[in-house]
Structure 1
Amino acid sequence: MKSNCKVLFISFLVILVGCKATPDIKKNNTTPTIFTLIDTQQFGTKPNIIAVNKLFELDDKEKNKFNHFFDNPTNNKLSPHKRVFKYIDKKLKFFNYYGQTYTAQNTINNNAGNCISLAILTTAYAKLANIDVNYSEVTTAPVYFKNANFQLISNHVRTKLFDPNFKEATNTVYFYKPGIIIDYFPSRNSWGSGIVNEREFIAMYYRNLSATALQKDDLNLAAWNIVESLTFDASSISAINMLAVIYRNMGLFEKSEMVYQYGLTLDAENLNLLSNYHLLLSKLNRFDDANKIQVKIDNAKDPSPFRWLILADDYYQDNEYKRALKYYKKVIEIAPYLHHGYSGTAKSLFALDKKNMAKKFMVIALEKTHEATQAKLYKAKLAILSKY
């Protein structure tokens, strides 16, 4: 079943992914700089926030079921990490993949959840089996979810179960340790964003809850969850970006700008930050300042093709086809193997009444796609273009 099981994060418009499995998670007792910009009194009374020790907790019934399977003599020939995978694989046979973020036990109770939920559940089982895990964040082609105020885009997370029987040889360097990567929603159209440790993964969980609350215009819950997220990963650009968006929607524009500026000291060329900051300045009619940020956007070296794709799509939707064309070509430059940049270039050229050139790029888009549904769509568009 196709799913939108992804890590939600804030992007532009006012828009809406190695560690040990056994230790307890403790919050960082240091006070990172971002917290000097936060006055929680502005967020209102703190609501009930799910405690971190509840994330990976399973009830006795589920623990017994897992242990019975794991210790069953018929499974002894399998390495421990493969037994965990086999149990999860059976568990997900009738699973409903959709975009809710749950704790491990709630994922079981609902027999549903997104990729964060499934990674949490996987970690819960790994902890029972004393298996080490880590996570990797993957940026995928944008999936858009819209309501009146927000545009949601998505990231993806996958989990690796390490082989506990692996022994490192002396004087040998290992780039990768053996294990099983569990990718609940594999895609050809992806871009690795790097390894995520357990603290960063937990921060993703609270960031997801914040994004969901923000979509529902529950700024109180969104704000407190993003504070919780930052407690576990104070340097997360996605969380910092979301905090700034929350401030903006609270009408605290000065605070919002301060957070954007702080985020840009950590990542000066991040398109999410720059685009949202540009949006804030435009909203405040500070067009000279907005133009300066636009120059930074145009000159940014952000390596993610999908962030450029999101930017291009946004300008295309605003009928700014020349600027959209510029950013679609940036996608092609960074990732020439992806079909998205070519199709975006084609539709922008078509809108600019350059139909012959549009056809050439649509042909390339068709050649680059590996998805039957997408190929069918491109063939239909080519048929239309062939009439000109």
Structure 2
Amino acid sequence: MVKIRLVMGVIWLFVFQGCSATSEPKQLGNIEQYFYDEHFEFIHDLPAAENLLFLPDTARKEIKNQFRRDTALSSNRILAHEWLASYIDAENGGFEYRDNTTRTAGETYSDRAGNCMSLVLLTAAIADEIGVDVEFQDIEVPPVWDKQGNFYLINGHVNLKLLPRTTTDTVFVSRRAIQVDFLPERAVRAYSKIKVDKQTVLAMYYNNVAAESLVIGEYDRAYGLLKLGIAQKPDYVPALNTLAVLYRYKGLDQQAEILYKLALDVSANNMNALYNYAILLGSQGRLEEWAEIHKVLELDRIGNPYYYYDMAQQAYFDREYQDALLWYKRAVDKADYRHEFYFGLSRAYWATGDERRAKKNMQKALSLTRDENSKIRYQAKLHAMKSH
């Protein structure tokens, strides 16, 4: 029962580009035929592509003045790309990394903070202002899993290189590129890097903000954002997949199936689209077709930490606490950065009478969470445990 519910239930999987993945290049003709405007309200205040990297005049003036001051006061000649790498450095306080809402370059500059995608856009915008070239890179890191409401979200990663811009009257002794990464622990050299163009990065942005809107039920806004993203890069599979998920939420199963097939035509081994398509087939009782896809998905499923987490939750609520501990531990083995896994371990240990391990795992959950509500909840639980 649990396995079937997990594969065929109400939880849809789709990629959220905290920063992230690319599709195989393929030309798609007449992408407009896959849009169904009659089912959605038009949203007026969506960010236009040309505004994603836009900086207001005050910001541009501040940046250029800071650049002139810093380079003039330096005893050694500082190249523009070297200055920018130092200026934008999130790790040392230039701008704060916050893994939550995706912002435009202008919004990120104003807030002095943003997630990975937001900071990449801001860096590119500043680079353009001071004459620095950029190269965007998709980093093929292992996926980082998250869960919000009825959605599994997979965070990939993107960073960028800064290069001095060559001009006719300037000769550089060295054109050494500087890699800028806002999650340095994931910018390991052993990971493969794929150079991506600006259109792909803009499509990533729109998929991010569309996912954020979808999670909170703003379907019309999500639809408008996805249209803008797909206009930038029609073969961008994560956006096609997210749009198909949105169609399912609107009850447009036939339209969703067309999009899943389109996404799989572009990238046949895209597990996110394949998984979602399998859910649709299962919900319609098309079990023979579902079984064929399920064979492929079974091999991929074992890498999903939430598979083990859902099994642990089921065991816990069935009061099978030893089984719950086993499943929670497996979830932690797959994703030791998820606070809710340690919270689950804590509850299960408490239920078995192991108070020491229960407190230890509650402390770990508290240290990992960035959500204020979870933090308050874990603090209260930990206080109650210590007072027991």
> What's the TM-score bracket when you normalise by the shorter of the two chains?
0.5 to 0.7
Residue 133 (str. 1) matches residue 127 (str. 2): no
Distance apart, 1:127 and its partner CA? 0.6
The one of 304, 310, 313 aligned to 1:317: 310
How do 1:1-388 and structure 2 match up within 5 A?
13-16=11-14, 17=17, 32-72=29-69, 73-75=72-74, 77-89=77-89, 92-93=93-94, 95=96, 97-138=98-139, 139-147=141-149, 149-164=150-165, 178-188=176-186, 191-192=191-192, 194-298=194-298, 309-310=303-304, 313-314=306-307, 317-318=310-311, 340=334
Give the deviation of 1:67 after TM superposition.
Answer: 1.1
> Structure 2 regions of 5+ residues with no counterpart?
1-9, 18-26, 169-174, 316-329, 342-363, 369-388
In structure 1, distance between residues paired with 2:302 and 2:135: 28
Percent of counterpart pairs with the same letter? 26
Q: Contact 1:213/1:222 (CA < 8 Å) preserved in 2?
A: yes
- Cα RMSD for the two superposed structures: 3.9
Instruction: State how far apart, in whole Å, the 2-side matches of 1:259 and 1:206 are.
Output: 18
Task: Give the AA of the match of 1:114.
Answer: N
State the AA in 1 paired with 2:136.
Y
Give secondary structure in 2 for the equivalent of 1:194.
strand
Shift of 1:181: 0.9
C-alpha distance in 2 between matches for 1:36 and 1:217: 24
- Provide the TM-score with structure 2 as the length reference: 0.67
Contact 2:161/2:179, CA 8 A, preserved across alignment? yes
Runs of 4+ in 1 over 4 A off after TM superposition: 188-191, 318-321
Instruction: Letter of the 2:146 partner, please give it.
Output: Y
- TM-score w.r.t. the length of structure 1 is 0.67
Q: In structure 2, give the amino acid aligned to 1:35.
A: E
Letter of the structure 2 residue corresponding to residue 129 of structure 1: I
Give the CA deviation at 1:69. Answer: 2.2
Which structure 1 segments of 5+ residues have no match?
1-11, 18-29, 168-176, 301-306, 322-328, 330-338, 348-372, 378-388
User: Which amino acid in 1 is paired with 2:59?
Assistant: E
Q: Tell me how far apart the structure 2 counterparts of residues 87 and 186 of structure 1 sit (CA, whole Å).
A: 16
What are the Cα deviations for residues 11-48 of structure 1, in whole angstroms up to 9, with x where unaligned? x931354xxxxxxxxxxxx9734432222222222332
Q: Distance in 2 between matches of 1:61 and 1:83?
A: 20
Partner secondary structure for residue 160 of structure 1: strand
Q: What do residues 228-271 of structure 1 show as CA deviations (whole Å, max 9, x unaligned)?
A: 11001111111111011011111000111111111111111111
Distance 1:192 1:47 in 2: 39
Give the Cα separation in 2 of the matches to 1:205 and 1:47: 18
Quote the Cα distance in structure 1 between the aligned partners of 2:207 and 2:288.
32
**C-alpha distance 283-193 of structure 1, shift in aligned 2 (>3 A):** farther
Question: Residue 176 of structure 2 aligns to which amino acid in structure 1?
Answer: P
Q: Secondary structure at the match of 1:159?
A: strand
Aligned with 1:53: secondary structure? helix
Amino acid at match of 1:115: C
Q: CA deviation at 1:211?
A: 0.3
Counterpart-to-counterpart distance in 1, 2:67 and 2:287: 62
How many residues are treated as equivalent by the alignment? Answer: 300
Distance 1:193 1:309 in 2: 22
**Residues 154/299 of structure 1: CA separation in 2 closer, same or farther (3 Å cut):** closer
Give how far 1:193 is off: 5.8
Deviations 1:317-375 (A, max 9, x none): 24799xxxxxxx9xxxxxxxxx7499xxxx9xxxxxxxxxxxxxxxxxxxxxxxxx89x
1:185-221 CA-to-partner distances (Å, cap 9, x unmatched) read: 1235975462221011011111111000000111111
Counterpart in 1 of 2:358? none
Asked if the contact 1:271/1:308 (under 8 Å) is kept, the reply is: no
Residues 161 and 181 in structure 1, CA contact (< 8 A), matched pair in contact too? yes
Match of 1:136, SS?
Answer: strand
